[in-house]
Amino acid sequence: MRKLVILKSLIDFVWIVTCIPAIALLAFFTVYMFIEPKALELILNTDKSVVAPFSMVGQLFALLFIALAFVSIYCLYLFRKTLRYFQRVKPFHSDVIANFYKIGYLLTGVGVLTSLLVVIVELVFKGTFKIYLGLSPYLMLLCLGLFFMVLSEVFKIAKVAKEENDLTV
């Protein structure tokens, strides 16, 4: 149980220190990039000469990246919510199973979409076609998403086994 308390404390710390300010900053940046298109250089990591002719396209890509960041923050929120069920010793609650599946589905989507967006941004704004075959954070998000989906299935099977076991006693 001590490990669960440490995990919940770390996740809460990350939520308070990182996610809450990130929500405010991303919301501000979403509006600010339409007011000042030069702000796109922060997200797209390109120089001024490349972003200027494509400012509308750049804003669209930036909006997609911001939306994916919000989805990632939502996944962390669902994980925090799920850990509360574990603290209450309700690991087989239907919300836990649903949250694990939702987290997995969303993280898998974020991993795939971010990988594609990075390749497209490289192609459109830098004029290079690069595919990263090594270890990347997007591949890790994909793996983590699939892991949460498998974990959801395992908990679903365990819930059925627990209910059958409770009925046979």
The string of pLDDT tens digits covering residues 53-74 is 557 887 888 899 999 999 999 9
Instruction: Report the mean per-residue pLDDT for the chain.
Output: 87
Q: How many domains does the chain have?
A: 1
Name the residue range of residue 28's domain. 2-168
44 — pLDDT class (breaks 50, 70, 90): low
Q: Which single residue is written with the structure tokens 């972003």?
A: 51
Which of 73, 62, 68 is CA-nearest to residue 29?
62
Q: Find the mean pLDDT for residues 16-44.
A: 86
Residue 128 near residue 122, CB atoms below 8 Å = yes
Distance CA 43, CA 57 (A): 13
Mean pLDDT of 145-168: 91
Q: What is the model's pLDDT at position 51?
A: 52
CB 35 within 8 A of CB 62: no
103 neighbors 23 (Cβ within 8 angstroms): no
How far apart, in whole angstroms, are the C-alpha atoms of residue 162 and residue 114? 39
pLDDT score, position 128 = 80
pLDDT tens-digit profile of 112-152?
999 998 888 888 877 788 777 778 888 899 999 999 999 99
Could you give the CA distance from residue 9 to residue 42 in angstroms, rounded to a whole number? 32
91-114 residue pLDDT tens:
999 999 999 999 999 999 999 999
